[in-house]
Amino acid sequence: MSELQRLWNGWRNEYVTSAGAAGGVGADDATSGRGSVFTRILRSGMSDEQAYIVFRGAEVFAILNAFPYAVGHVLVLPYREV
């Protein structure tokens, strides 16, 4: 089995390909003022529990991945868009 075959999960294809149709993040989001999906989550007003934010630090926050490849996988992101 190749590395790509090990990582690819076909059942996620519908989710990935439908992002544009469902108002997902487009290439212009960073310059349009709407921001990244993570910035929009932070501005949404949702509680940390609703947004799956598990840690907030002074400069970064940790959020659970919607579709993790491994158990316990989290994303650690800066508040500032880069």
pLDDT digits (tens, 9 = 90+) for 18-47: 655 444 445 445 456 678 889 999 999 999
Residue 72 has pLDDT above 90, yes or no: no
Query: How many CB atoms neighbour CB 38 within 10 A?
Result: 18
Domain range summary for the chain, segments of one domain joined by +: 3-78
Smallest CA-to-CA distance from 61 within 70, 46, 71, 69 is with 46
Distance CA 22, CA 37 (A): 13
Cut 0.75: pTM above it: no
Interior/surface letters 53-81, b for 16+ CB within 10 angstroms, e for the rest = beeeeeeebebeeeeeeeeeeeeebeeee
Q: Which residue has the higher pLDDT, 23 or 74?
A: 74
